[in-house]
Amino acid sequence: MGATADTVCITHPFHPLAGRRFELVSRGVNWGHDRVVCQEPDGTLHTFAAALTDIDPPDAFQRVAAGRAAFGFTDLQELRAALDQLVARWESGDA
């Protein structure tokens, strides 16, 4: 798998646009994350996390999970850290 030079496909199985192919406009770090900017035939632009597309070949987790996992281990670690921060703010009265 992997994108052609001109298009990317939304590959994350739970994304509402999964399976749709878009013309690739650019790729870069936006809002601190690796993102792609894509264009529809009518000119509408979209930005997606690069990890949701086939722009890179699948990593080991994606190959083994084969679409059966909604979240990767790193995703869950980041979620846990965010929840820990919210709990700490709530307990300190800052929430």
In the chain, domain spans: 1-57
Could you confirm whether domain 1-57 is CATH 2.30.30? yes
Q: What is the mean pLDDT of residues 12-26?
A: 93
Per-residue pLDDT tens for 1-14? 455 569 999 988 88
Residue with the bigger pLDDT between 65 and 16: it is 16
Structural tokens at position 2? 């992997």
pTM above 0.75, yes or no: no
Flag whether pLDDT at 70 surpasses 80.
no
Flag whether pLDDT at 24 surpasses 90.
yes
With the C-alpha atoms ordered 77, 54, 46, 31, is the resulting torsion angle positive or negative? positive
